[in-house]
Amino acid sequence: MSRPDLERLGAVYPRYLNAVVLHGLATAQAVGMGPTDLYATGTLAFHGRMTSGELAAKTGLTTGATTRLIDRLEQRGLVRRVPDPADRRRVLVEAVATDAIGLDDALAPAREKLGAVFVSCSAEEIATLTEHFERATPAFHEAIEAVREAE
């Protein structure tokens, strides 16, 4: 088995990440949102309901900025505040429906383009990509925490 070309990986991967970030910015703009609002909506959709403090920790926002973010998202009908069933004194925030903002339409071109890339991959390549995404996701979250702790 040949050695991986780490030099090429080191050159390609930052460009890939830049494209992902720029796509996120373009998607947010396409649905009339700021990127932080779009990513917070995604955070709630992926992780489920949470307190505003937990959302603040995940987004890196202050609690005050998070309250304003939740207010904006609630006004757009994207999230709602609900009583915590375990402790009625606490309020949780949950995602409602991202389709209300046309997110599916905004993501359609990426799904189409990436689908064309993935359809040309072998089953082994798809398995490798899937494993990469599964392992890289928590690595990125750990890196986020490291960056925030270093501030």
Among all chains, which residue has been given the structure tokens 């009339």? 32
**Cα dihedral 80/32/36/85 (nearest 10):** 10
Q: What is the pLDDT of residues 38-76, one digit of tens each?
A: 999 999 999 999 999 999 999 999 999 999 999 999 999
In sequence order, which residues have a C-beta less than 8 Å from that of residue 11 and are 6 or more positions away? none
Planar angle of CA 37, 49, 44, nearest 5 degrees: 30
pLDDT at 102: 87
Average pLDDT, the chain: 92
Q: Is the pLDDT of residue 4 over 90?
A: no
| Calpha distance 115→8 (Å, rounded) | 24
| Calpha distance 58→135 (Å, rounded) | 19
Identify whether the C-beta of residue 50 lies closer than 8 Å to the C-beta of residue 91: no
pLDDT at 99: 72
Class of domain 6-120: mainly alpha
- pTM greater than the 0.85 cutoff: no
Domain ranges of the chain: 6-120
Q: How many CB atoms lie within 10 A of CB 94?
A: 13
